[in-house]
Amino acid sequence: MAESETTEPSPSRPALVVVAGAGRAQRGEQNRGRGEARSYAPVSFDRRELNMLFNLYGAKVAAGEWRDYALDFTPAKAVFSIFRRSSEAPLYRIEKNPELARRQGAYAVIAATGLVMRRGHDLARVIRVLDRGLKLVGAE
């Protein structure tokens, strides 16, 4: 059928008008009556963010501290989980939650105990909490 087409009415059937997309709730409009519009596309890390995460991960793997990672993308947030062993719970979770972007910052580093180690608007500053290591200071 065409984009807008009318059929001839008959005594047993009334006229039918078909309009493309009519009768279907559009994505994001389903919850508008409740005051919330939500997109159903998963939140993800962009290329720049993934580059920062994998640079940190690669350095820690080379140092022998971390061994595995996992990426999770949901409609609410994206999570980069870091494991010492793949059979254990994650040591750290780096989360991107766009709903918190204006308030506390979209990024957070969360320890295995659930403690929020750092939260902020800039991923590079947030993951710096994991990059801190002990430095040898020479005695003079």
How many CA atoms lie within 13 Å of 113's alpha carbon, on the beta-carbon side? 3
Q: What is the pLDDT of residue 39?
A: 56
pLDDT in tens, the chain (140 residues): 555 455 555 556 555 444 444 444 444 444 444 555 555 778 888 899 999 999 999 999 998 888 999 999 989 899 999 998 877 788 999 999 888 888 888 899 999 999 999 999 999 999 899 887 656 667 66
Q: Are 127 and 106 in contact (CB under 8 A)?
A: no
